[in-house]
Amino acid sequence: MAQPAITYRDHIRASLWLGVPLIGSHLAQVAITLTDTIMLGRYDVSSLAAVTIAGSMFFTAFLVGAGFGQAVTPLVAEAVEAGDDTQVRRFTRMGLWLSTIYGVIVMIPFFWTEDILLAIGQTPEVASLGHDYLLIAIWGLIPALWVMTLKSYLAALEHTGIILWATVATAILNVFLNYVLIFGHFGAPELGVKGAAIASVIMQVLTVLILFGYGLQKLPQYALLKNVWKSDVVAMVRVYRLGWPIGTTSFLETGLFFGCTMMMGWIGTVELAAHGIALQSATLVFVIHVALSQTATVRAGRAFGRKDRLGLHRGAITVTGLSVAVVVLTAPFFLIVPDLLVSIFISPDETQKEAVRAVGVLLLAFAAAFQFMDAMQVIALGLLRGLQDTRIPMVMAAVSYWLIGLPVSYIVAFPLGYGPGGIWVGLVVGLLVAAILLMRRFFASQHI
């Protein structure tokens, strides 16, 4: 006998039940980076500029490897619908394996960060400080990738509360550690950017321990550490095939933002610092859409596993509507109170405060404009991942971000002479094209 169709009200309730803790955890995670940015901005503008570009490098490397962890979500969701506890464990274990292998390989080039930053046109001071930051922060890469895999595992099982509380706890601790290590309080040495990096590594390791501990205690039926050293070729291949396009897509998107950050560094340190402020402010809202995208992946993956086409369609409409509602509620703040947002990041005594403020207000206006496009493209990606459709979306991302977004940024900023605002025009255009292509692909899918 066919099961009754799930109503939109039920979809909203289920999406919020799963998504709200994820939203909270993502906001808390961003609070860690935001804390670094604010405290380093009050330390000095050069440190803020250095961590803006060095942090972009780290985040780009992280997101590529995080594709293997993110692939765990739809695979575990499908295995749960099939009642296969063994496959749940195997997919998660191979996600951890692939994350580790990737992390070890990618760490190596970061030991030459200063040479890399100089080669891409950054100032010697920014390159030196960025190098100091990444030499320490890179040791948190593998723990960060493990955290992503464990979060994906727990989200697929709809255990998102622990993700929220673990991230909130570490975010609070990060504020204290930054205060002590960046500025040298309570007898600690004044370490500046190095202190921020040490605090970040501690946070990643602590989060891994919390999530592993929860998984072993609350979900013993999956025996997460059973045969942890045993390879599973079939499961590894499935995680790899689904994960590398996810990671590459994330790289392509983050590469768009890193490319724009690099070009902003060509213009000047003040512009780079303002760019970092605008990006951090936009990211604070964007992670809500990322959380809703993860919710979309879980809900779509479950519906896909039980072959529920109507549920898949209604769930997609629901999560897209929730994302649009977030844009409507948040975008006006970037236009109404830009001065307040900029002032949070800059010390009142900073001699270049007014120069940073002027550029920052302009860029925040662009940030308000691209929120809708950014939200729609990430929701579409989440829905397509639930269908285990990742390769064609990767190609669409390549076209949107690199063949359209980056060239538009360069042309408008430099040959046409619009400077920082021109760089953000390219961001808006690239994200708009991606949103159109990806949404069209999902709603044209034979599964809908």
From residue 215, give the alpha-carbon distance in Å to each of 2, 15, 148, 262, 418: 34, 22, 14, 40, 51
Flag whether 448 is in a domain. Answer: no
How many other CB atoms sit within 10 Å of the CB of residue 10? 15
**Do the domain assignments include residue 3?**
no
In a domain, 353, yes or no: yes
Residue 2 belongs to some domain of the structure:
no
Burial of 135 (C-beta count, 10 Å sphere; 0-12/13-18/19+): middle
Query: Tokens at residue 125, please?
Result: 């001071």
Coil vs helix vs strand at 103: helix
Q: Nearest 5°: CA angle at 254, between 343 and 402?
A: 120
Instruction: Calculate the CA dihedral of residues 59, 285, 74, 104 and round it to 10 degrees.
Output: 10
Instruction: Note the pLDDT of residue 394.
Output: 94
pLDDT at 448: 62
**In degrees, to the nearest 5, what angle opens at C-alpha 263 toward C-alphas 259 and 266?**
150
Q: How far is CA 47 from the centre of its chain?
A: 22
Question: Is 1 inside any structural domain?
Answer: no
How many domains does the chain fold into?
1
B/e letters for 183-220, b = 16+ CB within 10 Å, e = fewer, are beeeeeeebbbbbbbbbbbbbbbbbbebbbebbeeebe
Domain boundaries, position 151: 8-443
Both tokens of residue 91?
Answer: 């997919």
Q: Is residue 76 part of a domain?
A: yes
- DSSP letters, 28-51, are HHHHHHHHHHHHHHHH-HHHHHHH
pLDDT at 327: 92
Pull the structure tokens for residue 424. 């953000």
What pLDDT sits at residue 2?
46
Per-residue pLDDT tens, the chain, 448 aa: give them. 445 567 888 888 888 888 788 888 777 777 776 677 777 777 777 777 777 778 778 888 888 898 899 899 889 988 888 788 888 899 999 999 999 999 999 999 888 888 888 887 777 888 888 888 888 989 989 998 999 899 999 988 888 888 888 888 888 888 888 888 888 888 777 777 888 888 889 988 999 999 999 998 898 888 888 888 888 889 999 999 989 999 888 888 878 888 888 898 889 888 888 888 888 788 878 888 988 998 999 888 888 878 888 888 888 999 999 999 999 998 888 888 878 777 777 767 667 778 888 888 889 888 888 888 999 999 999 999 989 999 999 999 999 999 999 999 999 999 999 998 999 999 999 999 999 999 999 988 766 6
pLDDT value at residue 238: 93
Write out the DSSP string of 350-361.
-TTHHHHHHHHH
Pairwise CA distance, residues 210 & 170, whole Å: 10
Burial class (CB in 10 A: 0-12, 13-18, 19+), 172: middle
d(CA 447, CA 308) in angstroms, rounded, equals 9
Say which residues have a Cβ less than 8 Å from residue 69's Cβ, sequence separation at least 6.
Answer: 95, 99, 145, 146, 148, 149, 150, 151, 152, 243
Tokens of 78: 């499908």
- Residue 181 belongs to some domain of the structure: yes
Output the CA–CA distances (angstroms, integers) from residue 374 to 18, 288, 335, 437, in the order listed: 21, 11, 17, 13
